[in-house]
Chains A and B, each alone.
Chain A
Amino acid sequence: MNAHDDLASDLELAHADDANDLPRLHARLVEAAQRDGVLDVAYRTIDSPVGTLLLAATEVGLVRVAYESEDHDSVLQHLGDRISPRILEAPARLDAVSRELDQYFAGRLHSFTVPLDRRLSSGFRRTVLEHLTDIAYGHTASYAAVAALAGNPRAARAVGTACATNPLPVVVPCHRVLRADGTLGGYLGGSDAKRTLLALESAA
């Protein structure tokens, strides 16, 4: 049986890929999927001062930014459930947002201009998130103040939930929302990340 196993492993080796084959074929697949308009979700990861971020975009725009603590695998799975499992690592679609994030983290960009796809949020949460950009770069607001901006002054707690489930952190600045007493409050990327972003914005 030994010779049999050797033949099987020789067969495998004789037809095996070398290091460049699969990356090359992967790039070809991305290109063809893009050309045929079937690349529903493209993603990449970038390194940043707040850790590795996952960026995902539909053909409409940026649909998801995820912290490492959110577990990138389950984020992709969730995108598969909510949007489409036709998901490929395809950095080109994220070029513009990656550039803007680089500039933002370098303190040179104060508001993002890339198109957003807000389909992952709805209802009052979506209204809240849409109003977060009313808080200017380098400024902060309380949960209650954001609730008022969103048209429901008594909904401070719902604002907290909206921020905690923001599908587009950093770009949609939920880090600018603090407790009424000025203390940090929670953050989906962790308090350190929130502190880092606020420090970055107040230094600029």
Chain B
Amino acid sequence: MNHNVAFERIVAGHGATVLRVCRAVLGRADADDAWSETFLSAFKAYPDLPHGANIEAWLVTIAHRKAIDITRGIARRAVPVGEVPETPALDGAEARDHDVADAVSRLPVKQRQAIAYHYLAGLPYVEIGTIIGGSPEAARRAAADGIATLRRTYPNPPTPKGRTS
């Protein structure tokens, strides 16, 4: 009888993962909005969620749709930018995190989604295919292509030890 777990526990258990997914798919600037809309929408629908449903897959599915909405909204509002402002120089681990995030942001959207849903949310490709629309094989290929590009493009090699948390 694990019915009707307080939604607070859902936020505590999945909030960080969903934020990482939103950041990988949308970039840092829009991730907060995507997270907020995802959890508000999930909160409203929560009482009707079938018992035994995979919560993380459900949340990622909602986040996927919210990210699409947000991307469309941005495209509608987009104005050409003259000069891109310089980002301050970072060093050490922070610089590498920035590089990784930057390299991810340059990937085609399907690859970003496949990588985020598989490597950050831990979903199987069968599930990811359903979410992004396409076969599991296509999802697997998108992730593999993205990972291959990341390996080529992101400049600092991963430190061998001591960066697990």
Contact = CB atoms under 8 A, between A and B. Distances in A.
A7 to B, nearest CB: 6
B125 to A, nearest CB: 15
Contacts of B46: 85-86
A91 B9 CA distance: 16
- B interface residue count range (under 10 / 10 to 19 / 20 to 34 / 35 or more): 35 or more
Contact of A33 (B40, B47, B159, B164): B40
B163 A6 contact: yes
Dominant secondary structure of chain A at its interface with chain B: helix
Given A3-B158, A25-B36, A11 B5 contact: no
A87 interface: yes
Given A11-B104, A77-B5, A87-B7, A25 B20 contact: no
B158 A7 contact: yes
B97 interface: yes
A85 B24 contact: no
Nearest to B11: A26
Nearest to A6: B158
Contacts of A32: 36, 40
B97 A13 contact: yes
Nearest to A11: B119
Contact of A76 (B8, B20, B24, B150): B8
Contact of B4 (A2, A36, A77, A89): A77
A80 interface: yes
Contacts of B119: 8, 11-12
Contact of A80 (B5, B11, B24, B158): B5
Nearest to A38: B44
A85 B19 contact: no
Q: Which of A10, A17, A33, A86 counts the most chain B CB atoms within 10 A?
A: A10
A24 to B, nearest CB: 8
Nearest to B37: A32
A4 to B, nearest CB: 8
Interface in A1-42: 2-4, 6-17, 21-22, 24-26, 28-29, 32-33, 36, 38, 41
A192 interface: no
Contacts of B5: 77, 80, 85
Given A28-B36, A76-B8, A85-B7, A15 B150 contact: no
B36 A29 contact: yes
B147 interface: yes
Contacts of A12: 20, 119-120
Nearest to A84: B47
B141 interface: no
B36 A81 contact: no
Nearest to A9: B164
B69 interface: no
B117 to A, nearest CB: 12
B6 A15 contact: no
Interface of B: 3-9, 11, 15-16, 19-21, 23-24, 32, 35-36, 39-40, 43-44, 46-47, 93, 96-101, 104, 115, 119-120, 147, 150-151, 158-160, 163-165
Given A8-B119, A11-B119, A25-B36, 5 more contacts: A3-B158, A14-B98, A26-B11, A43-B8, A76-B9
